[in-house]
């Protein structure tokens, strides 16, 4: 099920630099900055509340993630965003179960890689970067979305690694700005990765 058609017409033919993605993502977010901050504040608040509830709270917190991604993708393409879209992960029991299975499987694979040796674990973290976006925005199949993510990142591993590095610094800067800066840097960095996701899909001629 396709949730959102990408708008890739303005993406460059070469892998976009972080500064290009930052500028493009900021322009998209800034068009509806208030809504971006509101969605992020609700997302963080609900996640914090859920963290205090054993087991069930962790499950609920996980299910907020795909809805937040959908909201940010709608901001990215200039579409209307409503708070109820944040609850996308709760909209269907089978969908919720599929997402939890996906997160369980992907988390286990990464943990296994870290246990066996640190380097394979780090490699898998980067390689599976886009699996959640693939699951949420393209096709709700746990194994397919992980395979697709690894295919997208293939030959672009260091590129995505560098995006992680700069995005991490961006969010650290947000935290240092009295903590409230993260209300801007979190959605901004997430949109940056969505832009990279759709660039890589276009690069491999995927829809």
pTM of the full structure: 0.87
pLDDT digits (tens, 9 = 90+) for 155-180: 899 999 999 999 999 999 999 987 78
State both tokens at 31. 């068009």
What burial class does residue 66 get, using C-beta atoms within 10 Å of its C-beta: 0-12 exposed, 13-18 middle, 19+ buried?
Answer: buried
Q: Are the C-beta atoms of residues 81 and 75 closer than 8 Å to each other?
A: yes
Alpha-helix residue ranges (DSSP H) falling in 128-181: 131-137, 142-153, 157-176
pLDDT digits (tens, 9 = 90+) for 44-57: 999 999 888 888 88
Residues of the chain with confidence (pLDDT) below 70: 1-13, 206-207
Provide the residue ranges of all domains of the chain, joining segments of one domain with +. 18-203
- The rounded mean pLDDT for the chain is 88
Spatial distance between the Cα atoms of 76 and 57, rounded to a whole number of angstroms: 29
Spatial distance between the Cα atoms of 136 and 138, rounded to a whole number of angstroms: 6
């Amino acid at each position: 099920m396709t949730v959102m058609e990408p708008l890739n017409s303005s993406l460059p033919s070469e892998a976009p630099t972080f500064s290009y993605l930052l500028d493009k993502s900021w322009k998209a977010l800034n068009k509806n900055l208030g809504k971006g901050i509101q969605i992020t504040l609700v997302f963080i608040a609900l996640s914090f509340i859920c963290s205090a509830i054993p087991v069930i709270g962790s499950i609920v917190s996980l299910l907020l993630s795909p809805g937040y991604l959908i909201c940010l993708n709608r901001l990215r393409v200039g579409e209307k965003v409503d708070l109820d879209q944040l609850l996308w992960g709760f909209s269907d029991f089978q969908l919720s179960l599929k997402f939890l299975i996906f997160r369980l499987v992907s988390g286990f694979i990464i943990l296994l890689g870290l246990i066996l040796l640190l380097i394979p674990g780090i490699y898998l973290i980067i390689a599976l970067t886009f699996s959640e976006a693939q699951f949420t925005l393209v096709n709700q199949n746990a194994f397919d979305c992980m395979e697709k993510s690894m295919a997208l990142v293939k030959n672009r591993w260091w590129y995505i690694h560098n995006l992680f590095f700069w995005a991490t610094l961006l969010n650290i800067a947000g935290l240092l700005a009295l903590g409230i800066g993260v209300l801007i840097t979190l959605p901004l960095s997430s949109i940056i990765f969505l832009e990279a996701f759709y660039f890589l899909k276009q690069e491999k001629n995927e829809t």
